[in-house]
Amino acid sequence: MSSEAEFILDFGRVMPAKANVTVLARIITSPQHAKSFMLALSKNIEAYENKHGEISVGSQAKHHLGFQGNQNETSD
| Tens-digit pLDDT profile for residues 41-61 | 999 999 999 999 999 987 655
Half-sphere exposure of 18 toward its Cβ, with a 13 Å CA cutoff?
9
Q: For residue 21, what pLDDT is reported?
A: 85
Cα–Cα separations (whole angstroms), residue 73 to 7, 21, 41, 54, 59: 18, 9, 28, 34, 24
Residues in the chain predicted with pLDDT less than 50, given as ranges, are 71, 73-76
Q: For residue 74, what pLDDT is reported?
A: 47
CA 7 – CA 61 distance, rounded (Å): 21
Q: Is 18 helix (H, G, I), strand (E, B) or coil?
A: coil
Can you give the pTM of this predicted structure?
0.60
CA 64 – CA 47 distance, rounded (Å): 27
